[in-house]
Amino acid sequence: MKICVLPGDGIGPEIIAEAVRVLKALDLGIEMEEAMLGGCAVDATGSPYPDATQKLAQAADAVLLGAVGGPQWDNNPREQRPERGLLGIRKQLGLFANLRPAILYPELANASTLKPEVVAGLDILIVRELTGDIYFGQPRGIETRNGERFGFNTMHYTESEIRRILRVAFEAARKRNRKVCSVDKMNVLECTQLWRDVAIETGREHPDVELSHMLVDNAAMQLVKNPKQFDVMVTGNMFGDILSDEASMLTGSIGMLPSASLDANNKGLYEPSHGSAPDIAGKGVANPLATILSAAMMLRYTFADEAAAGRIEGAVKKVLAQGFRTGDIYEPGMTKVGTREMGDAVLAAL
């Protein structure tokens, strides 16, 4: 097992250090090698995704990433912006499936803006298609037609693109509560009528998983009204972009949310859902749990080691139950800790 570790910018190096300590403590014989991505890579080499990083990422079984970006690179030419590195690695590795769990640990129910009884114990997984849909469709542009400006984009999916993301969702559901809700807008968009047809066909291949369908507008409402009805939600790139952010905000604690982006062979890029938090970088106060939980997802999805993934997740639950909190999830009466101490607590719980 070989992992390419990319700490990145801002709080990236601090939070990655804790995830690496946790992986080492499990003693699974994982080989880890570090490289540069994002603003730090621009400063050192002129490129946000340098050749050496590309080689390492391509050769590895999985990539563990902190975060990239920061205000000092915001005015760089487009090719030298940190986000370019992120788009570059996602594209090069063919990562078409984005998995974002939204879990609200009962101990953190007050962090949500929703009533605790609506969200306490929430555990849903949003599976978003990442390389197709209207975000990539051609033709696209802004032109002048009949004397006025005219903007247009094209939404399209092939049935094979739909089938492969549906299969990821069904396989993920098999590791959870065996329910998939496929989200579309088939009443208006032909492209998503095809989505629904292929979802039904793919559902027949997975009779042990319950399949339901929901229109995207209703899905947005149901996520706020009664989010615990969902197990796995699967949808296209644009709807998934919006719904996955909505779902993550149900939990109110961005420092807790991991993510995975997978290719067709379960090779994956694992990273916290949050950014590089330049406002707290270098202060030792960032919450490392989203990154530690991303490492758990890596063990589950790329290395099929459910037991090791479960050990990490169990340790995180334990430190929350023990009352350890970084600043972002702190409540009076709890024990406030920094990044390193939170890592120590997880190691002790392991």
Question: Catalytic positions, please?
Answer: 135, 185, 217, 241, 245
With 0-12 CB in 10 A as exposed, 13-18 as middle and 19+ as buried, what is 300? buried
**Interface with ligand NAD in residues 11-30 (CB under 6 A):** 11, 15
For residues 302 and 287, is the Cβ–Cβ distance under 8 A?
Answer: no
68 touches ligand NAD (CB under 6 A): yes
In order of 182, 233, 313, the CA distances from 229 in angstroms are: 13, 11, 22
Q: Do residues 337 and 326 touch, judged by C-beta distance below 8 A?
A: yes
Work out how close the CB of 218 gets to ligand NAD at its nearest, in angstroms, rounded to a whole number.
Answer: 28
**Tokens 């709890």, located at residue:** 334
State how far the Cα of 331 lies from the Cα of 108, in Å rounded to an integer.
9
69 near ligand NAD (CB under 6 A): yes
- Under the binding rule (CB under 6 A), the answer on residue 223 touching ligand NAD is no
Part of the chain binding ligand NAD (CB under 6 A), chosen from 63-71, 133-141, 154-162, 231-239: 63-71
Applying CB under 6 A, among 36, 114, 286, 297 the residue interacting with ligand NAD is 286
Least distance to ligand NAD from the beta carbon of 18, Å? 10
Distance between CA 112 and CA 331 in Å, rounded? 13
| Residue 287 engages ligand NAD in binding (rule: CB under 6 A) | yes
Residue type for 129, please?
A: E
CA distance readout (Å), 140 to 130, 135, 151, 155, 156: 18, 9, 8, 10, 12
Instruction: Yes or no: say if 18 and 339 are a contact pair by the CB < 8 Å rule.
Output: yes
Encoded amino acid at 194, one letter? L
Question: Counting contacts by CB under 6 A, is residue 98 touching ligand NAD?
Answer: no
Question: What character string, x for contact with ligand NAD (CB under 6 A) and - otherwise, covers 233-272?
Answer: ---------------------xx---------------x-
Q: Does 67 bind ligand NAD (CB under 6 A)?
A: yes
Q: Which of 53, 98, 244, 276 binds ligand NAD (CB under 6 A)?
A: 276
The one segment of 112-120, 203-211, 243-251, 279-287 that binds ligand NAD by CB under 6 A:
279-287
64 binds ligand NAD (CB under 6 A): no
Cβ neighbours of residue 327 closer than 8 Å, sequence gap 6 or more: 280, 285, 287, 336
78 part of the interface to ligand NAD, by CB under 6 A: no
Residues forming contacts to ligand NAD in the complex (CB under 6 A) are 11, 15, 67-70, 83, 86, 254-255, 271, 274-280, 286-287, 290, 326, 328
